[in-house]
Amino acid sequence: MNRISRRELLAATLGAGIATTACRRPPRIGFEGALLGQSATRGHRVREGFRPPPARRERTGVAILGAGVAGLSAAWRLQRRGVTDFTVLELEDRPGGTSRSGENAVSAFPWGAHYVPAPLDARSDLAALLREMQVIEGVDPGGRPVVGESFLCRAPQERLFFGGAWAEGLYPRYAASREDLRQLRAFEAEMDRLVGARDGSGRRAFVLPTADCGRLPEVDALDRMSMADFLDRRGLTSPRLRWYVEYACRDDYGCRLETTSAWAGAFYFASRVERPGARASELVTWPEGNGALVAHLEKVAAPRVRTGIVVTDVVPGPRSVEVHAWDVAREEAFVVEAGHAIFALPQLLAARLVAPYRERPPPLLAAFGYSPWVVANLTLRGRPAERGFPLAWDNVLHDSGSLGYVVATHQAGRDHGRTVWTWYLPLTDADPRAARELLLSADWRHWAEVVMADLRRAHPDLEALVERLDVWRWGHAMVRPTPGLLRSGTLELARAPLGRLHFAHTDLSGMALFEEAQSWGVRAAEAIVAARAKDPGR
């Protein structure tokens, strides 16, 4: 891999203007850190077709491949349904996927996803999980779940660095023209209309999870255009509005306006609102982000979660599924014969691991693309000086390729002293392969310089406060909801089981959200419970 220059990396990630300014004054990297990420060596074995002869065989009722949110949710539901003869096989040394978290002497912190919207339906799977975690305290008179105050994101929640100072909220209101604000109101009215859209069966067009969304031809047609086209057709040209909407697309999907399905763009704004005119759901979060949810799911599934296991081949048969795997610690190949299996991994791995797909790849696999991400955790010995609105939980920088940072200690009520900031950068290049090459082309120091160049614009005194800066690289962090993927029938094909092999992953929704992963994990578990009830011998 050719190494990239510091200037090239800054320009590619933060923009040419920031790169020029940053290169005039290189940051002083007087702190330590590490370059972290998924186990590339293990993953490359899958890519290279590593299939050693097995040394032993074992049997289980259900094999769950992958201990991300989908796999852990499948295990959670099986356990709650009385099915205990399952095993979860995970390549990494820790479960959680992109909802993993870390911890140091200052605070726990996320390495990826860091919140879920408070559920609107007390009957949902997310509500059931949050009740089990004692996050939901009851149900209000309208039947909505009541989330405990300590779990709701505390104020101030969001701020934006724009025009040289911080302001509350995410829309850049400072010096906005009448036309800017008129277009903002027009966009909000359009989203409000979509909040109220329902199909002939009374199902909402946009709701979490997407499997519960109604089907309306005029709404489904949004998937055939990009979010940029959606705005263009409505004359919504305000640069401020387009930045605001694109921020949403980058935040949830790792995509630009031109590469985000308009259906997905609308989903971001409409699915979290209960009814037209209402405010969006409040956010549920922890210092470690969604790592708190992972920890609970892992506890339920333990001791059936086995880490350091590289799945090398998946062969579905008429009466069982053979899973070939490699135990990293024991350096031993083995086979699991399972009555049923759940493939809780991305579709990109299905193309390499699932025998029928590998031998004759279905066209649907080519529809899936993935956004790389960089996440950095900065441990600070103190808080920098502020300009404008005070430090919030989510702190966003205008005119930056990054998404800014969240403050891990904010939810714990620690507003002074040492803290941890989690900084996020989606690599939104139109070519995902080029984005991954960029991701891997820089070493720790280069990425540390990118982080500091970005944050120094808002915090000139930050360098003296950094104790440590760790960087995590996610090569295939999240599926991209590109135009045509979501409502064309492709996802329905990807969801179809292969005999006793079921699929469960956010890929099946085309959007990498916790609720989507949980939904497909639960649905796969329920399908297996139903199948076993019909055939008790298996």
CATH number of domain containing 424 = 3.90.660.20
Cα torsion through 75, 79, 85, 87, rounded to 10: 20
| Encoded tokens for 19 | 């790169």
Distance, C-alpha 151 to centroid of its chain: 20
* Total residues found in the chain within this entry: 538
Is there a contact between 413 and 445 (Cβ–Cβ < 8 Å)?
A: no
> Is residue 22 domain-shared with residue 56, that is, in the same domain?
no
Domain count, the chain: 3
pLDDT at 191: 98
- Calculate what percentage of the chain has a pLDDT beyond 70: 99
Backbone Cα Rg of the chain: 23
Residues 6+ apart with CB under 8 A from 209: 125, 509, 513, 515, 516, 518, 519
Alpha carbon distance 302, 344 (integer Å): 17
Confirm whether 332 is domain-assigned. Answer: yes
Same domain, 445 and 527: no
Angstrom distance (rounded) from CA 305 to CA 286:
24
Structural domain for 88, as ranges: 41-100+289-367+482-534
Average the pLDDT over 356-366 and give the result.
94
Extract the tokens encoding 312. Answer: 């090398």
- What confidence category does residue 537 fall into, taking pLDDT thresholds of 50, 70 and 90? low
Q: Which of 220-229, 261-270, 457-466, 527-536 has the lowest mean pLDDT?
A: 527-536
Whether 363 and 304 map to the same domain: the answer is yes
pLDDT of residue 46: 72
Query: What is the per-residue pLDDT across 131-162, written as a single tens digit (0 to 9) for each?
Result: 999 999 999 998 899 999 999 999 999 999 99
Write the CA distances from 270 to 159, 188, 219, 264, integer angstroms. 22, 10, 12, 10
* DSSP letter assigned to residue 150: G
Is 171 contained in some domain? no
Residue 360 per-residue DSSP state: S
Same domain, 268 and 405: no
- What does the pLDDT read at residue 1? 42
> Last residue of some domain: 281, 312, 327?
281
Residues 362 and 416 grouped into a single domain: no
pLDDT at 17: 79
Both 296 and 311 in one domain: the answer is yes
In a domain, 407, yes or no: yes
| 330 within a domain of the structure (yes/no) | yes
Residue-wise pLDDT for 439-457, tens only, equals 999 999 999 999 999 999 9
Retrieve residue 98's tokens: 């992109």
pLDDT band at 2 (very low <50, low <70, confident <90, very high): low
Whether residue 378 is found in the same domain as residue 440 = yes
Q: What is the pLDDT of residue 24?
A: 74
pLDDT category of residue 538 using cuts at 50, 70 and 90: low
Question: Which pLDDT score, from 0 to 100, does residue 428 have?
Answer: 95
Tokens 């990009």 -> residue: 226
**The dihedral formed by the CA atoms of 166, 169, 172 and 174, expressed in degrees to the nearest 10:** -60
Same domain, residue pair 254 and 330: no
Does residue 70 fall inside a structural domain?
A: yes
121 domain-assigned: no
Which pLDDT score, from 0 to 100, does residue 391 have?
A: 97
In this structure, the answer to whether residues 218 and 309 fall within a common structural domain is no
The answer to whether residue 134 is domain-embedded is no
> Which among 441, 461, 479 is the end of a domain?
479
Residues 292-344 have pLDDT tens digits of: 999 999 999 998 999 999 999 999 999 999 999 999 999 999 999 999 999 99
Q: Check pLDDT > 70 for residue 231.
A: yes
pLDDT computed for residue 480 by the predictor: 97
- Asked which of 106-115, 315-324, 432-441, 487-496 is least confident by mean pLDDT, the reply is 432-441
Residue 451 and residue 396 share a domain: yes
38-47, 215-224, 369-378, 393-402: least confident range:
38-47
Q: Annotate 33-59 with DSSP letters as a single string.
A: --EEES-HHHHHHHHTT--PPPSEEEE
Q: Which of 293, 342, 416, 440 is nearest to 89 (CA)?
A: 342
Question: Which of 460, 479, 498 is where one domain is finished?
Answer: 479
Provide the pLDDT confidence category of residue 41 given band limits of 50, 70 and 90: confident
3-state secondary structure 173-209: CCCCCHHHHHHHHHHHHHHHHHHCCECCCCCECCCCC
- Tokens 């979010």 locate to 227
Same domain for 359 and 499, yes or no, is: yes
Q: What is the pTM of this model?
A: 0.96
What ranges make up the beta strands (E) of 381-495? 394-397, 404-407, 419-426, 466-479
Q: Indicate if 350 and 486 belong to the same structural domain.
A: yes
Q: Is residue 398 part of a domain?
A: yes
